[in-house]
Structure 1
C-alpha cells in the first residue's frame, strides 16, 4: 500500500508544478461545463494541437448546449469534419438534446446524471465533474494511468477493468480538499508533457524524487499494456463518377447509412473487394479492377464506365484499415432493363434520396471522412 506521506508529496508537488507550467488552453479560460465537455470529447483519440482550432470553430458555431441541440446533424458533422471518430459528434449532439429536455439546458453535476448522457463514459464523466464543478471525481485515461503506474509502481495490465478500477480508487485518495479541478488537470498535464510514453523527462519531473518506477529503473517498461489487435485490412474500389449532360462538370457522392461506421457522412461510391487467397487491388490488373468496379456499381444502380486509375489511398480506423484503389468513371445512360435488379437510376440522376451531383465548391456543404477529402483534393487539383 502507498503511505499517506508518499501520496501527500505527490499531490502537493504536482499542484505546485501545474500552477507554474500549465498550458494556456482555450477551454481552461472558462469554467463553463459545456466548453469543458466539448473539449473532453474532442480530445478523445486526438492531440491537443489538432483540437484547438476545431474547438474554437465549434464553440463559435454552437455557443450553447441549446444551439447544439437545435442544429441539423449535417451541420454538426461538417463542423467536426477532419477530427475523425464521428460517432463522438453524433453522441455529443444527442447528449445536448438530453440536457435540453431533461435539465432545461443546464449541464448536470451529479454522477448518475452526467454518466447517463449519450457518449459519456467513466473518464469523461470524471473529467467534467472534477474540472467544471470542482467535485472529487476520478478521470483516469491513458495519460493518468501511465503516471500512476510509474509513480506508484503498479505492475498490472492497464487494459484490464480491475486495474482501471484500482486506479480510480487511488486517484480519489490523492485529491486535495477543494482542489479537484486543478488536480485533475495537473495529473493530465504531467502525463502529456513530462511522463510521456517513450523517453519520459524524469529529470524535470516534479515528483521524480519519490517515483517508484524511476527508483527501480522501470520507468521505460511501465505501464504494462496488452497490445491491441492490429486493424484488419479491407480492400475497396472507389469511383469518382463524372456526370454527363446537365451534370457535366460534377461528380456523384452518396450519403452513408444513418447508423454504423461514419454514419450520415458523404462519400464517393465504393465497393469492397473480397481478399480471396490474399489477393489485393494493388496486385490486380487495372482492367480487372475496372470491370469489377463497373459490375459491382451497376448492381447498386450506379451505371458507370471506368476510364482509368487515379490514385491509391488508405485510411486506418481503430479496427479496420481501408486500402483503396480510386478510378475515374463516366456516368452511363443505360436501358432500364439493365437495372432491373438494382435501385432506380433516376434517384442518382435527379440527386434525390441519398445521392448528390456536386461541383468542387459544393464540398463545403457536405461532411466527408478524411480519406475522401484527400482523394477529392487530388482529383480536383489535377
Structure 2
C-alpha cells in the first residue's frame, strides 16, 4: 500500500474515533429514578393480579354453587325415576287384574253392580283408574323433563364458568410471570445502585485520602518552617486521619430474615392422613363428600375438619386465612388463584385438579403461596 493510502486509512480511523460517542454510566440518581418507575409498574401489576384473583374467587364460589345444584338435580331425577318405576309396577298389577282375561273382569265389575248408582260408581272407578295412571305418567314425564332441562342448563352454565376460570388463570400466570420479571429488573437496579454507591464511596475515600495527604504535607511544611516539634505534625496527622475516617461511608445492603412458624406436627399428620385417604376420589364441582366426590377446596376443608380445624369453604378465603409461611411443611396449604392443595413435602402436593380428574399427588407448580392452619 502506498503512503497516500496509508494516510487515507489513518484519517478515516481518526474520524471514526472522533464521531463515536462514549456513553457515560448512569448516575445513582438516574438509577434510583428508574427503580422507582419499575416499582410503580410492579405495584400496578400486583393490583391487577389482586383484582383478577378476586374474580377467580368469585367464579369458584359460583362453580361450587352450580355443582351443588347439579348434584341436587341428579338426586331429584333419581327420585323421580324411582317414583316412576313404583308407579309402573302398580299400574302393571292393575292391568293384570283388570285385563288378564280380556274385559271379563271389567264386565264382572260392572255386572255385579247392585243398583244403577252402584253401576255408575263402578264405571267411574274403572275410568278413574285409567285417568289416574295417565295423570301419574304425564306428571312423571313433566317432572323428568323439567329436571333434565335444569341439569342440562346448569351444566352449560358450569361449562361457561369453567372457560372463564381457565382464561382468568392464564391471565394470572402471565401477570405473575411479568411481575417476577419486573421484580428481577428492580433487583438488578438495586445491584446497580449498590455498585454506583460503592463506586461513589470509593471515589470519596480516594478524594479524602488525597485531601488528607495534602493536609499532612501542608502541615509538615508549615511545621518545618515554624520549627515546630514533630509531635505537632503527628497530632495534626492523627486528627486529619480521624476526620477522614469519620467522613468515609460504605453502602450496606439491607439484611432480610424470614421466620418460619412452628405448628403442631401431630395435627399436621392427621391432615396428611386424611388427604392420602382420598386419593383416587373423583373431582366433582361443589363436592364435599369424602370417598364420593370432592373439589379442590372441598378436599382441603375435609382434611382440616378431620384434624379438628374449621377453615372456609372455597380456595380464596382459605388462601387468605391461617398463617403465611415461606418454608412449607407437610400439612400446609398450597395456594393459587382459584385453586388449593395439601403440601406433602419434597415439592409435592395432594390436590383435586379439575373436572374429569381424581384426587392425586402432583409436583407443586408455578408460583404458589403457603398457609398454615395447624
TM-score category of the 2 structures, normalised to the smaller one: under 0.3
Higher RCO (C-alpha 8 Å, min separation 6)? 2
Higher CA-based Rg: 2
TM-score (norm. length: structure 1): 0.16
TM-score (norm. length: structure 2): 0.17
Q: Report the structure, 1 or 2, having the larger strand content.
A: 1
